[in-house]
Each structure stands twice: as C-alpha cells, then as structure tokens.
A and B are shown apart, each in its own frame.
Chain A
C-alpha cells in the first residue's frame, strides 16, 4: 500500500526524524561556536547562516513528524529572512571594511572600556 501513496505520505520511521533533529541541533551549535570563535566578520555571518540551517532542519523534521506542511512553509520564510539578512549584513560588512581595511571583528571594539 505504501507504493500507492504519493511522496509525503509514505510511512517513515521516527528514528529518521530523531537523527534529523540531532543534526539540526549539531548544526546550530556548530554555527554558534563558529560565530563565537571566528574573527572574520564574513565567516561570522556564514555561521549565522549555519544556525539558520539548523533551525530550518528542525522545522522540516517536525513538519514530517506532524505530517503538516506548515513547517515547510516556515522554512520558505526562513529562506526569505536569510536572504534579506545576507544582503544587509554583507552590505554592512563591506561598509565596515571600507572604514578599517580589515575584516577582523576585533577592530570594532570601541564600546569596551579598555
């Protein structure tokens, strides 16, 4: 009977979804660690994209678990926001690069006391 169903309605194991969730968590955390560790501003934004990836993967996994397409729709919105963020963030990075001729985030620490 499984063959008769269109894709999206096949029976899936919960284990697959669990693995997907684990990957999403790992991607998010790796993105976070990268954001905290890397000094290159462009890489830092790349790491936020990595975190977006983790969040989107969790959305897809839960959409699968609930058999509801809303999760997938939200991933589309995440794509939208990520695109907008990339456009603005890269514009800002270019602007900052023009000011200091470096991509290091450490060059911008005037808010600190020392």
Chain B
C-alpha cells in the first residue's frame, strides 16, 4: 500500500515542479510552489513514518527535515530561476544546507571541505564565467531575462522522466525496507573499527594513553599480538609501560578517546585508498592543463594567411567563376 501513496506524493511533487517550469502558467507560481512543497512534504512524511523513531532522536530528525526543506527548495529555485547568477547563488544555499546535513550525519570533515571547495571555489568559478559570458538584461532590452533562460524546453517530459525514476527507486526501497528497518544502528562494529584505526596510529595512541595516565612512557603489543583489546562496554585495554616500570601493565581507555572523524578519514585515505588519492591528483593536474589549453584565445587567421602558412599559393578571387566558364 505504501508504494501507491508514495507514487501519489511523487506525482503531486512532479506536478508542482512541472507547473513551476512552465512559462505559460507563470501566474500560478505561488500555487505551484505550494503544490510542489506539499508533495515533497508528503514524501518526507511517508519516509519518516516508515521507520519508528525513538523520542530522543526527534531533535536531530527535525533539524534534518528543516535542512531537507531548505535544500530541496533551493534546488528547485536553481532550476527555475530566470537569472543565472541567482541560480548560482541558490546553489550555494543548496551546498550549505547539504553541509548541514553532512554534519547531522556526523561527517564533519567532508561537510567543511564541501563548503570550502564547492561554495568557495567551484561556485565562484561559475560566477566568474557567468559574469564573463552573460549579457546583462539591459543589453538586450528585455525587462526580465533572455529567452533561453526564461523558457524551459520540454518541462513535462523531463519532469515525468525524473519523477518516474524517484517513484520507482523510492517506492521499492520504502515499501520493502519497512518490515526490516530498525530504529537504531548497532554501533559496536563502528567502535571496533575506530579502536582498530587508533591502533594503527601509534603516536595518537600514546597520546591518548598519556591523557588517561600521564605516567605512561610507551604502548606495547599485548600478549596476543594486538595493540588493543576492545571491551563490550566500548572501552579498550592497552598494554603500557609506565615510568619506573619494566614490565607492561594494562590500561583501560574510555570510549571518548576514540579518534575523531577527520583523523579516521585521513587514515582511510592514506591506508586504504592511496592509489585513488594519486589518481585524483593526476585528474586535477590534467584538468588544469586542459583548462589552460581550452581557454587559450585562438586567433582568427584569414584563409590566405592560412594557405601561406601551409605553403600553398593564394587563391584567386574569381577562380570559381573562371572554372565554370
């Protein structure tokens, strides 16, 4: 039953978006916006209701839904606004609200790099190019914007194609996943993963051990060869050598000493994806070179000069006519 309702919600949202895109029904813009937002709200309600949420989590969930609304609404404005510069600025809004969602999903490092790279660099580039290429409305004498920005092409078809996609994907996920969904995530796996990451960072491990007990001079491998033994209460035990001691003794590290998000991302980058990292660097280099080559101004050479450069003689002006005779 859920897919049918979900499809209806998708259809309402799609209708709103299509109306917003259609130039001919511009006067119903307000109604169309309301319709689209209602559809999106309905979709979100269906999604949220499909999974029971503990009361303690309602706060973050509310923040998430707020960010979701800002994000989707800005995205719609990106594709419906008639002034490209405003589109780009709305896109900044999408990026910022997306970064907020990232933070809510505890991906702080990526959230901030997103803001820096996207909002700070890429979008600025877009703005520059827009300024470079865009005729101002005054130039063309139109009050609002030029035609190709104002009139969408085939909005109905595009919207149908897009929302068929989302209906299909969402319908299948949220109808099937319902019975198996759990309200919370078992994080013991994540904790074990975090402690293991820490064991691969000896300097940080020693630092964390000293933070627990300042007398620690070294962290040594345990009897079973592991550096860290994870306990069921998410704490961990390490073997340490203290000042004035010769034999190692155990030390319990509290869960709060787990490495933070940034450290773990960095660790994963250099230990698990080194080749991808190098390739990313190469891609950036190539993109830079390509941009340089593309952006070089090409001088127009007259035909005669081009022939001269190629070592060929000049073409007489009237030669085609002469050939006809």
Interface size class, chain B: 35 or more
A-B contacts, 28 listed (Cβ < 8 Å):
A4-B255, A6-B256, A10-B106, A13-B51, A14-B181, A15-B52, A16-B60, A17-B105, A18-B174, A20-B101, A22-B43, A22-B68, A33-B162, A40-B84, A46-B87, A47-B79, A64-B106, A70-B273, A72-B109, A72-B268, A75-B107, A76-B110, A80-B284, A83-B117, A93-B129, A94-B133, A98-B298, A106-B153
Q: Per-residue 0/1 for A8-48: is the Cβ within 8 Å of any B Cβ (1 yes, 0 no)?
A: 11111111111111110111011111101111101101110
A68 to B166 alpha-carbon distance, docked (Å): 26
Q: Do residues A43 and B149 form an inter-chain contact, with CB atoms below 8 A?
A: yes
Q: Let me know if B162 and A30 touch, CB within 8 A.
A: yes
Q: Are B126 and A36 in contact (CB under 8 A)?
A: no
Query: Is the CB of B215 closer than 8 A to any CB of chain A?
Result: no
- Indicate whether B219 reaches chain A with its CB closer than 8 angstroms: no
Closest chain A residue to B267, Cβ basis? A69
Quick one: which of A29, A43, A50, A69 contacts B268, CB cutoff 8 A? Answer: A69
Which residues in B have their C-beta under 8 angstroms from that of A111?
none
Note all chain A residues with C-beta closer than 8 A to B40.
Answer: 26
- Inter-chain contacts of A105 with B (CB < 8 A): 148
Supposing A16-B105, A39-B151, A81-B283 touch, asked if A67 and B185 sit within 8 A by C-beta, the answer is yes
Q: Residues of B contacting A83 with CB < 8 Å?
A: 117, 121-122, 284, 287
A34 to chain B, nearest CB (A): 3
* In the complex, chain B residues whose CB is within 8 Å of the CB of A6: 194, 255-260
If A47-B79, A79-B117, A92-B294 touch, whether A15 touches B129 (CB-CB below 8 Å) is: no
Seen from chain A, the residues whose Cβ lies within 8 Å of a Cβ on chain B are 1, 4-23, 25-27, 29-34, 36-40, 42-43, 45-47, 49-50, 53, 56-57, 60-61, 63-65, 67-70, 72-73, 75-77, 79-88, 90-95, 97-98, 102-106
Cβ of A15 and Cβ of B105 under 8 Å apart?
A: no
Query: B119 CB to closest chain A CB, in angstroms?
Result: 11
Q: Please determine whether B79 and A42 come into contact, CB atoms closer than 8 angstroms.
A: no
Segment with Cβ contacts to A, from B91-99, B301-309, B314-322: B91-99
A23 to B16, CA, bound (A): 17
Give min CB distance, A46 to chain B, whole Å. Answer: 6
Tell me which of B78, B165, B189 contacts A47 (CB under 8 A).
Answer: B78
- 7 interchain residue pairs of minimum CB distance: A67-B190, A34-B79, A84-B287, A36-B158, A91-B294, A13-B57, A39-B148
Q: Chain B interface mostly helix, strand, loop or mixed?
A: helix
Q: Is the CB of B48 within 8 A of A37?
A: no
A contact face: mostly helix, strand, loop, or mixed: helix
Count chain B CB atoms within 10 A of each CB in A46, A56, A88, A102 and give the residue with the most: A46
Chain A min CB distance to B28 (Å): 18
Query: B159 in the interface, Cβ–Cβ < 8 Å?
Result: yes
Q: B84 contacts A14, CB within 8 Å?
A: no
- Decide yes or no: A13 and B60 within 8 Å by CB, A18-B51, A39-B149 being known contacts: yes
Q: Which residue of A lies closest to B164 (CB)?
A: A29
List residues of chain A with CB within 8 A of the CB of B204: none
Interface status of B312 (Cβ within 8 A of chain A)? no
B residues 173-210 touching A (CB-CB < 8 Å): 173-174, 181-185, 187, 189-191, 193-194
Q: How far is the CB of A51 from chain B (nearest CB, A)?
A: 10
Q: Residue B294 contacts which of A4, A27, A63, A88 (CB distance < 8 angstroms)?
A: A88
Contact among B57, B79, B161, B170 with A30 in the assembled complex (CB-CB below 8 Å): B79
